[in-house]
Amino acid sequence: MQLKIGIIGLGRIGNIHYNNIRYHIPEAEVVMVSDVDKNRMPDDVPYGDAGTLIGHPDVEAVVICSPTDTHANYVAQCAREGKHVFCEKPLDLSLARIRETLAVVRQHDIQLMLGFNRRFDANFMKLKALVDEGKIGDVQLVKITSRDPAPPSVDYLKSSGGLFLDMTIHDFDMARYVMGKEVKEVYAAASALTGGAVAEADDIDTAVVTLKFEDGSMAVIDNSRKAVYGYDQRLEVFGSKGMAHVENNKPDTHMYYNGEGAASALPLHFFMERYTMSYLTEMKAFVKSVQGKQPVPVGGGDGLKATMLAVAAQQSVERNTPVTLVGENVVHQ
């Protein structure tokens, strides 16, 4: 039996999931879609408003790809209707709201998976496997470079929650995932250097975040909203037995040499190109978990933890001091 899925929000990421489910996952089908902009919806799939979709008896699972500030409401509605949920990151911008939403999810027998797609990237999965196999030894340092080619629109930025909650959140999740440990301290510095949309939205665009884990091991994340050479996504793990790193994916591997030097293709331009397969792999994992009644690989708790790190980073920048995390609480020093 195919898993019957409804999709809410058919923008950049919604279209990726729509096409993957419709054309590349035979175990699932898209039975309904919903977007406040009717022009975004395909002609040949039933559509309705979000409430109708969530309550529709044909819909077994809902994929939420609308703007961030709609996620928590839709997740709670889905839980009350007994619908499984795949929700794009972040779950919400407020920790209190995330906790309330997760409480509703726990009261109902549904699966909730968060869209931390980078865990499903083949390169990062290999690196994680090396860590888990002990090939790196005791992991002491993780370095993540994560830079976008260009900032999103002012409208998007204004509802995004800012750099840490919108963009670095993927890196916070990756750091926790690779390390397999929890963070006890966050120290962040940030600036606004690129002008344009970021300045208009009164956001930051450049940041360095240091994470200290329970055992003293560390992660360093550097972010920019504007890398002129494309989407810069690199990861390094360093430990007592060695080091492993992942370089950028490029559209081809050619190198051109002449008397002045050597040149290669630029990195794949943005997330749609770089993480194409990871979106398909994560959605297959969601469908498999729901159909097999197995726990999803990335849950609501992972969403809460990544958001806690983002909130701590914001507070660290505001106070210019490290911020401590104790259990599920952000504590000021």
Ligand X SMILES: NC(=O)c1ccc[n+]([C@@H]2O[C@H](COP(=O)([O-])OP(=O)(O)OC[C@H]3O[C@@H](n4cnc5c(N)ncnc54)[C@H](O)[C@@H]3O)[C@@H](O)[C@H]2O)c1
Residues that bind ligand X (CB under 6 A): 8-14, 34-37, 40, 50, 65-68, 70, 88-89, 115, 117, 156, 166, 271
- Which is closer to ligand X, CB of 52 or CB of 140? 52
Question: Does an H or E element contain 93, and which?
Answer: none
CA–CA distance, 63 with 84 (Å, rounded to integer): 9
Which residue number places its CB atom closest to ligand X? 11
Question: Shortest gap between Cβ of 327 and ligand X (angstroms)?
Answer: 26
CB of residue 312 vs ligand X: minimum separation in angstroms?
19
Return the number of the residue (128 or 170) whose C-beta is nearest ligand X.
170
Q: Which residue has the tokens 């790196």?
A: 136
Shortest Å distance, C-beta 307 to ligand X: 12
Among 57, 65, 71, smallest CA distance to 105 is for 71
Question: Per-residue DSSP letters for 41-80?
Answer: S-TTS-B--HHHHHH-TT-SEEEE-S-GGGHHHHHHHHHH
**Are the C-beta atoms of residues 185 and 322 closer than 8 Å to each other?**
yes
Least Å from the CB of residue 304 to ligand X: 16
Nearer Cβ to ligand X (213/271): 271
Cβ proximity to ligand X, 9 vs 300, nearer residue: 9
Q: Which residues contact 159 (CB under 8 A, 6 or more apart)?
A: 67, 68, 69
With respect to ligand X, which residue has the nearer C-beta, 60 or 88?
88
Distance of closest approach, residue 128 Cβ to ligand X, in angstroms: 18
CB closer to ligand X, 15 vs 324: 15
CB of 157 to ligand X, least distance (A): 11
Report how far residue 93's alpha carbon sits from residue 331's, in angstroms, rounded to the nearest whole number.
18
Rounded to the nearest whole angstrom, what is the least distance from the CB of residue 259 to ligand X in the complex? 41
Q: Are 123 and 172 in contact (CB under 8 A)?
A: no
Q: Which is nearer to ligand X, 55 or 67 (CB)?
A: 67
Q: Which helix (H) or strand (E) holds 125?
A: helix 122-132
Total Cβ atoms within 10 A of residue 145: 17
CA distance 309 to 185: 9
Helix (H, G, I), strand (E, B) or coil at 250: coil
